[in-house]
């Protein structure tokens, strides 16, 4: 699917795990990409390889604040706005729950009004977390969810639900042309080791020989979509020109238990790590699997990357990251020793 050569695309959260891969895909299609990111959870190293690209710009700013004057210039034509700007893993979004909620509500409103003013098509990266701990399985877009509105995850879950409300209200009022993707568990290179997600946790623990931490009894299920497949879904949904589809699930419908995932990671890494269990976090979903019938019928989309293939690439990336971090640590230690000895 082609987004169109020559388009100017704004990617809020473009330095994050998903956002950086989206930037790569947009640039490969000939678009000019401007990233808007406050680097709260996004990392400059994710987009460092794009710094010399003439069709790529970075603006360091937070979407809960008024958008920078550079973006509001009447001379700047933006064709598409992707809103991926929000901490998306429990340790990160619970670290500052107020900011998480404001990012989803105030930030989304700021970007929607910007899209309205510029005539840009608006894309909201929503989440399967809006289904909460679901009582319907698999989850279809018509399911309203089972969310605790006052629990520790509510800043993200209810924030995204409110973001969807704002987005659909702008559509109903004819104020913006919008698209909404509900993202299920996604993994791949450029995940953060400290994001607390099950794939990154297991791989990092296995590579370092630490105990692999399984929360609960390991019977809760997830379905994992490789990042390149998800980005393909983003581009297809943004490019879709048919009748308004509402929210669209994007994820991999292949379901497995988190206990089985731990055993798979152990086998693929050859690790001798032990599997240990810890209490299940509050409001952690017991089952999670998307019904992607709408995405298949509407967009011709379905994930193509097998779990073993995606895990192999992700393990290789984390292994290289750990090797690089170890080299950097050794260099730092050597310099520190030289300083203390009066050699530098």
> CA triplet 258, 264, 266: central angle to 5 degrees?
105
> Which residue spans within 167-253 are E strands per DSSP?
178-183, 186-187, 212-215, 221-223, 225-226, 247-250
CA distance 147 to 281: 14
Catalytic annotation, pick one of 156, 187, 202, 226: 156
* CA 163/CA 222 separation, integer angstroms: 24
Q: How far apart are CA 208 and CA 185, in angstroms?
A: 24
DSSP 3-state of 319: helix
Other Cβ atoms within 10 Å of 85 Cβ, number: 31
329: left (phi over 0), alpha (psi -120 to 50) or beta: alpha
292: helix, strand or coil? coil
Beta carbons within 8 Å of 322's beta carbon, 6+ residues apart = 204, 207, 208
Note the helical H segments in 41-193: 69-72, 90-95, 97-102, 108-118, 154-172
Residue whose entry in the numeric block shows the structure tokens 């988190």 = 258
Q: How many residues are present in the chain?
A: 344
DSSP 311: H
Instruction: Answer yes or no: are the C-beta atoms of 249 and 294 closer than 8 Å.
Output: yes
Is 156 an active-site residue? yes
Check the CA dihedral 180-130-155-159 and report its sign: positive
**How far is the C-alpha of 326 from the C-alpha of 320, rounded, in Å?**
10
Q: Active-site residue numbers?
A: 156
């Amino acid at each position: 699917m082609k987004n169109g050569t020559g388009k100017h695309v704004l990617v809020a959260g473009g330095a994050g795990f998903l956002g950086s891969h989206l930037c790569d895909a947009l640039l490969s299609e000939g678009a000019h990409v401007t990233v808007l990111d406050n680097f709260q959870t996004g990392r400059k190293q994710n987009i460092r390889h794009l710094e010399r690209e003439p069709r790529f710009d970075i603006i360091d700013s937070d979407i809960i604040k008024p958008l920078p004057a550079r973006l509001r210039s009447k001379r700047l034509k933006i064709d598409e706005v992707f809103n991926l700007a929000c901490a998306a893993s429990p340790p990160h979004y619970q670290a500052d729950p107020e900011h998480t909620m404001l990012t989803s509500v105030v930030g989304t409103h700021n970007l929607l009004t910007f899209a309205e003013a510029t005539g840009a098509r608006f894309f909201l990266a929503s989440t399967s977390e809006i289904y909460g701990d679901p009582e319907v399985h698999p989850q279809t877009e018509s399911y309203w969810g089972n969310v605790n509105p006052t629990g520790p995850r509510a800043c993200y879950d209810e924030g995204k639900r409110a973001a969807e409300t704002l987005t659909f209200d702008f559509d109903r009022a004819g104020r913006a042309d919008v698209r909404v993707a509900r993202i299920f568990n996604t993994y791949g290179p450029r995940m953060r080791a400290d994001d607390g997600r099950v794939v990154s946790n297991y791989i990092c623990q296995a590579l370092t020989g630490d105990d692999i931490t399984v929360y609960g009894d390991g019977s809760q299920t997830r379905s994992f979509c490789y990042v390149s497949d998800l980005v393909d879904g983003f581009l297809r949904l943004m490019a879709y020109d048919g009748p308004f589809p509402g929210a669209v699930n994007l994820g991999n419908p292949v379901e497995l238990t988190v206990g089985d995932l731990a055993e798979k990671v152990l086998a693929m890494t050859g690790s001798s790590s032990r599997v240990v269990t810890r209490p299940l976090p509050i409001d952690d979903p017991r089952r999670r699997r998307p019904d992607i019938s709408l995405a298949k019928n509407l967009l011709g989309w379905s994930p193509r990357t097998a779990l073993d293939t995606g895990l192999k690439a992700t393990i290789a990336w984390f292994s290289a990251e750990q090797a690089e971090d170890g080299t950097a640590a050794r260099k730092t230690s050597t310099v520190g020793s030289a300083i203390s000895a009066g050699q530098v």
